Structure 1
Amino acid sequence: MLDIQINQQEVRQLYLEKLKEKIKEVDSELVFWDAAELKRRTCMSWNTIQKEFFFDPRFPKYKVGNKWYFPAQETKEFLLQWLSHRPR
């Protein structure tokens, strides 16, 4: 007879480490975001984005043709700073 014991905590830790690696990998692949990606990353609607920070002169954005593009790293940094200055 074969008796297998699995340490659930260890499995969970390994899973979370691999997940973090994959998330970092995906994040580093994107050089810029489009409006759909910005909405997805912020969990905000386009109207809320425009109301809250889109027109802030510090917000990095570029219009190419009819589409808006946002440099991924600069946008992340701006969003973290913007959020930290919001009233709680």
Structure 2
Amino acid sequence: MLNVQINEIEFKKIYLEKIKERLKEIDAELVFWDSRELERRTCMSWNTIQKEFFFNSDFPKRKIGGKWYFPAKEAKEFLLLWIETR
């Protein structure tokens, strides 16, 4: 027979830490990226982004006013496919 004892206080502490981490991840998931966020997510300069994939017709982008916006989910999917072809 197996007997397991759990320190409830420590368990609760670990559990709450994991919940906080996951909430931070969820909050970090943006609906739209701007050009600075795109640079940060790709670790590329704006010039490199333009040279490599910005003008690809499949890359999702919208210009609103004078600012570019990128649907986060679609941009991420594009970038994952794009990197596989390199």
1:25-81: CA deviations, max 9, x gaps? 421xx1100000000110000000000000000000000010000000000000000
User: What TM-score, normalized by structure 2, do the two folds share?
Assistant: 0.73
Q: What SS does the corresponding residue of 1:69 show, helix, strand or coil?
A: strand
Q: What amino acid does structure 2 have at the position aligned with 1:74? A: E
Q: How many aligned positions are there? A: 71
- The aligned residue for residue 55 of structure 2 is 55
C-alpha distance in structure 2 between counterparts of 1:76 and 1:24, whole Å: 15
Q: Which runs of 5+ in 1 are unaligned?
A: 1-10
Question: What is the RMSD computed on CA atoms of the aligned residues?
Answer: 1.8
- The aligned residue for residue 65 of structure 2 is 65
User: What TM-score, normalized by structure 1, do the two folds share?
Assistant: 0.71
Deviation at residue 17 of structure 1 after TM alignment: 8.2
- The aligned residue for residue 28 of structure 2 is 26
Q: Does 1:82 align with 2:82?
A: yes
Identical amino acids, percent of aligned pairs? 63
Q: What amino acid does structure 2 have at the position aligned with 1:26? A: A
Q: Which runs of 4+ in 1 moved over 3 A?
A: 15-19
Q: Larger Cα Rg: Structure 1 or Structure 2?
A: 2
Q: Which runs of 5+ in 2 are unaligned?
A: 1-13
